[in-house]
Amino acid sequence: MKHRTLGSGKHSLEVSALGLGCMGMSYHRGRIPDRNVSIKLIRKAVESGVLLFDTAEVYGAYTNEDLVGEALQPLRKEILISTKFGFNIENGTMAGLNSRPEQIRKVAEESLKRLRTDVIDLFYQHRQDPNVPVEDVAGTVKDLIAEGKVRNFGLSEVNADTLRRAHGVQPVTALQSEYSLIWKKPEGDILNTCEELGIGFVPYSPVCRGYLTGTLNGQTKFFAKNDNRAGLPRFTSESMIANWPLIEVLINFGHQRGLTPTQVSLAWLLHQKPWIVPIPGTTKEAHLHENLATSEIQFSQADLMELDDAVSKIEIVGDRYTEVERSRVQN
């Protein structure tokens, strides 16, 4: 597995070109696998060269951190763990934003215990809290870094101005936001700011919660109790049917090159910037190998132009989030 660098200077992390998003093993993706199967998968990822593993306290809630902690405890010195703060949790579910300094400290202490570690490699603010200045958030994480409980600071789904303000207090190592061939909003101001400030970019949902794999369509039924896609506008039957031309582009482009739609999508992201590190999630070993193989794929400039041109002609239907969820993101 090739390596990349998130951040710059002493606030940088050398990571694998792709990380592993662990959320779906516990949360928001329908069927939850047997715990031992997920532990085996995480450890197989380490064997395959993955260095960065992503989780959060709200995934479960709490259960995903505990799973990741158990799986990686014997391998802790070999890998890097990122987790997140920023919500209240009541009765096992998110209950509003909360990034007050005392809450950040509380989450850090509890996450360290669940992750079975003495330091968090990358600590993200999951969503910005409008009631707490980002400077205060950055300052609190700066103190945690000084205390040796956190190594690096990250943000998620913020705009360029917020990113700059936070970076001025505590250098930001990575910005984690959604980015894929179906959601290209970070291009321009966000990615330009990351490049200017030396901040890495970590795309979550790099295959649009499974849609860009080509395995979902207008007939797909989701397990609503533990699958947030059931309530997302982009995953209605009508939206998935309307957006199918994008899948046809990926299928046709990939077929000419011996690649799956998933591999085309991930390889495209890796070709955008050398400091972009996608974190595709999976619960299946076969898909893990499919994903990780993309780190070796090379597209020519002509390939990229062909793909971008074909995608640019498609009008995407359906918002990525509901109105409530949109209020928590800045781009």
Which position among 27, 59, 124, 211 bears the catalytic label?
Answer: 59
User: What tokens appear for 230 in the block?
Assistant: 């059931």
In angstroms, what CA-CA distances link 81 with 85, 155, 159, 226? 14, 15, 24, 24
Residue type, 88: N
Closest C-alpha to 272, from 205, 176, 202, 211: 202
Cβ-Cβ contacts under 8 Å for 274 (sequence gap 6 or more): 4
Per DSSP, 49 falls in state T
Identify any residues that bridge with 124 across adjacent strands, giving them in sequence order: 84, 154
As a whole number of angstroms, the distance between CA 80 and CA 206 comes to: 20
Torsion, Cα of 282, 285, 20, 192 (10° steps): -80
Supply angle C-alpha 22, 28, 34, rounded to 5: 60
Supply angle C-alpha 149, 141, 85, rounded to 5: 90
User: What tokens appear for 208 in the block?
Assistant: 């649009």
**Residue 59 among the catalytic residues:** yes
Give the DSSP letter string of 57-87.
TTTTTTHHHHHHHHHHGGGGGG-EEEEEE-E
Phi and psi at 203, nearest 5°, equal -75, 125
User: What tokens appear for 240 in the block?
Assistant: 């998935």
As a whole number of angstroms, the distance between CA 315 and CA 261 comes to: 19
Identify any residues that bridge with 153 across adjacent strands, giving them in sequence order: 123, 172
Active site residues: 59
